[in-house]
Structure 1
Amino acid sequence: MKHAHFGRVETSALDGTDVVWESTSRLGDDEVEVRLWAGPSDQPDTEELDALAARLFDLPALDTTARTALRAYLREDRSFIDHHIEEIEDSETVVRLVRDAAGEEVGADSFAAAMRLSGIGLWLSGVSDGSPVILDYVFDPDLSDQILAVKLTRDGTVVSVDWES
């Protein structure tokens, strides 16, 4: 199939789940890896690909939605923040956040603002777990491999935030 944004999307030769298209997008000063995933039985249609492409066309708005979910997640459970403050205490970003907190706990808002979008996974319906758009956020990726994955529907509604590594 040929798509206006993704170009030729071929899934028939796949043995398992794999990337069928990849590119990068810009978000501010950051370059973000974008991958479209499919399985061998997936036969994408134009409507599904259009919906996934639409998420990329307004990446700043999608990032805003995801960051709102990140802040709510971090306010409810500080484990991700505390893990990073304790494990990578020499990180320049951690040092700055602790200093700016002025003796208080590092807040969810400032921590979420320091996180960077590192990748976007777009999953065709045959291989997605109900969340075809997944935004991976990292904190100081040179020092930590921990991710907060914000999972969204095709229309951009947040389904969950999950801690992954």
Structure 2
Amino acid sequence: MAVVEHARFGRLDTGTTDGPDVIWQGTGQLAGEEVEVLLWAGSAGEPSVGELDLLAARLGDLPALDAAAREALRAHLREDRSFIDFHIDELEGAEAVERLVGAAGGEQVGADAFVAALRPHGIGLWLNGVSAGAPVVLDYVFAPDVSDQILAVRMTAEGAVDSVDWES
């Protein structure tokens, strides 16, 4: 049984996981909203305290992560408008879309305005070996009451943006 005690995450038991499984959950404040935080582990055994410390440090600096994530989102959406266009086209008539379109005053809805309208949806922390990608994932949504589409910003354990991916 792989059990480790951690100052931020408490007692973690990774000995009973067969594959990716949530071993800790909590909440964090991201962009003024409380979001769910999930710590994922696999069957690779006991996580290192150093790895857990890095992930805990990211939770202590959520405003900086959000700022970096939103800058990456703006850059991504300036280069590839498909996420914006999908929502403007598919959610025509939805209040959130009408607000953005109205504010654009007949112009295309821009990346800056769209990113400002994105809401944080959750934070995933992935222990080494569970995911091939970066260990910190911030999920953002637009009009979550009518859309299940997510822009996931993947970050390194040090907080650098690795990628922006469209998920559902």
Q: What TM-score do the two structures reach when normalised by structure 2?
A: 0.95
Aligned mates of 1:67, 1:74 — CA distance in 2: 10
Bigger CA drift: 41-50 or 62-71? Answer: 41-50
1:16-55 matched pairs, under 5 angstroms: 16-55=19-58
Aligned mates of 1:35, 1:66 — CA distance in 2: 18
Residues 12-64 of structure 1, C-alpha deviations (whole Å, 9 max, x = no match): 11122100000111224411110000011232111100000111101111000
Structure 1 segments unaligned to the other structure (5+ residues):
none
Aligned mates of 1:147, 1:18 — CA distance in 2: 21
Runs of 4 or more above 6 Å deviation = none
Aligned mates of 1:143, 1:108 — CA distance in 2: 20
Partner of 1:146: 149
Aligned mates of 2:133, 2:86 — CA distance in 1: 29
Alignment size in residue pairs: 165
One-letter amino acid of the counterpart of residue 141, structure 1: P
One-letter amino acid of the counterpart of residue 12, structure 1: G
Contact 1:131/1:154 (CA < 8 Å) preserved in 2? yes
Percent identity of paired positions between Structure 1 and Structure 2: 64
Q: What TM-score do the two structures reach when normalised by structure 1?
A: 0.97
- C-alpha deviation, 1:129, in angstroms: 1.4
1:103 aligned onto 2:96: no
Aligned mates of 1:103, 1:121 — CA distance in 2: 37
Partner of 1:137: 140
Aligned mates of 1:57, 1:92 — CA distance in 2: 34
1:79 aligned onto 2:82: yes
Q: Give the one of 6, 10, 14 matched to 1:11.
A: 14
SS in 1 for 2:14: coil
Contact 1:116/1:137 (CA < 8 Å) preserved in 2? yes
Partner of 1:114: 117
Aligned mates of 2:57, 2:120 — CA distance in 1: 18
Tell me how large the CA RMSD over aligned residues is: 0.9
Residues 62-115 of structure 1, C-alpha deviations (whole Å, 9 max, x = no match): 000000000000000010000000111122111111001001000000000100
1:124 aligned onto 2:127: yes
